[in-house]
Amino acid sequence: MIIVTGAAGFIGSCLIARLNEENFNYIIAVDEFSDPEKEKNLEGKRILERVNREAFFDWLDKNYHEVEFIFHIGARTDTTEFNYEIFEHLNVEYSKQIWQRCVAYQIPLVYASSAATYGLGELGYDDNEALIPQLKPLNPYGESKNEFDIWALEQPEKPFFWAGLKFFNVYGPNEFHKGRMASVIFHAFRQILATGRMKLFRSHHPDFRDGEQMRDFVYVKDLVEVCLFLMHSRRHSGIYNLGSGQARTFLDLATNTFRALGLEPQIDFIDTPADIRDKYQYFTQANMGKLRSIGYDRPFHSLEDGIQDYVKGYLAERKYL
């Protein structure tokens, strides 16, 4: 059995689809299962059993001997939520319980960290574990992810294989339910269809022109390939960046979304909302050398190719992966 937490969500459901492609069909899907929109992410997928998130530890204590691997993808990911107690429960304490059981039951573990841990990037974007305690995330979500990374590194007892993955700006199929937290590409597609135009945030930073804020956008199909690689290799435990390795501008993103729809770009600039303006990342780029150094050699989608595949293959057809 392979366990996927956050199974009904964006990344979790895409991971299950990829596991099914590889004929891994004994999937234990862990989530709340209370959102009918998220249910659509699981339609057609081969799942052995669904387990409610709060009942999962009892289930695992009874069935651990049948579990081959755990992908802990589930988390509270709302970067606009500032009640840290919510993140403390779901992102920190829940993750600690999974870790402790993986140690006790000798189950290998891959869990989702986040590039939000890097804050404004004062220390760069290198996945050097010695720097993790010095990072300064910009919001409670990033703080919770960094808190767990620090805790994991400090543990004297670890699963025989484990990896934390710092996801950068992930986009791709199965994010219809995410609302404000969906990728910029998803919102661009919706805006362009509705108005024929796209709004981007104006720069409030002297070193960046409007629309030239840069992020490392990574296609979810690449992300799940890395997850499968780690499941198969089970060597070189540690914390790894997971981005494309190439920062691109929001203008690039918008232009390519128009192109995928066969339209000429029509772009307007608006002020960055005041509630996030002081905590806005103007540049992120994953140093991918560490993952490459342990043998991962598959290429990542370029932004152009990823957007073409996502827009034409999924968004335009309202199709799920």
Angle, helix 140-154 to helix 94-105, in steps of 10 degrees: 20
Sheet of strand 247-249: strand arrangement: 169-171, 214-219, 247-249
Distance CA 182, CA 172 (A): 9
DSSP-assigned beta bridge partners for residue 251: none
Q: What is the pLDDT of residues 117-132, one digit of tens each?
A: 999 999 999 999 999 9
Active site residues: 141, 178
DSSP run (H or E) holding 84 = helix 84-87
pLDDT tops 80 at residue 143:
yes
Distance CA 266, CA 198 (A): 6
The string over 124-145, giving b where at least 16 C-beta atoms fall within 10 Å of a residue's C-beta and e elsewhere, is: ebebebeebeebebbbbbbbbb
Model confidence at 167, pLDDT cuts 50, 70, 90, reads: very high
CB-based contact 115:216 (threshold 8 Å): yes
- Where does 115-233 show beta strands of DSSP type E? 162-167, 169-171, 198-201, 214-219
The average confidence (pLDDT) of the chain is: 95
Q: How far is CA 69 from each of CA 62, 101, 103, 156, 172, rounded to the nearest angstrom?
A: 16, 12, 12, 21, 24
Handedness of CA 69, 222, 126, 175 (dihedral sign): negative
| Structure letter (DSSP) for residue 283 | B
Q: Which two tokens stand for residue 235?
A: 């060597």
Between 154 and 277, where is the model more confident? 154
Q: What is the pLDDT of residues 155-165, one digit of tens each?
A: 999 999 999 99
| pLDDT at residue 110, as a whole number | 98
Closest CA to 3 of 28, 33, 25: 28
> 247-249 and 214-219: which strand pairing?
antiparallel
pLDDT tops 80 at residue 74:
yes
- Read off the pLDDT of each residue in 5-11 and give the average, rounded to a whole number: 97
| Structure letter (DSSP) for residue 49 | E
> 169-171 and 214-219: which strand pairing?
parallel
pLDDT tops 80 at residue 279:
no
Model confidence at 264, pLDDT cuts 50, 70, 90, reads: very high
Domains of the chain, start order:
2-172+216-246+283-302 (3.40.50.720), 179-213+248-277 (3.90.25)
| pLDDT at residue 76, as a whole number | 73
Report the percentage of the chain scoring pLDDT > 70: 98
| pLDDT at residue 81, as a whole number | 64
Distance CA 153, CA 145 (A): 13
| Structure letter (DSSP) for residue 82 | -
Q: Which amino acid is at 99?
A: W
Please count the other Cβ atoms lying within 10 Å of the Cβ belonging to residue 55.
10
pLDDT tops 70 at residue 82:
no
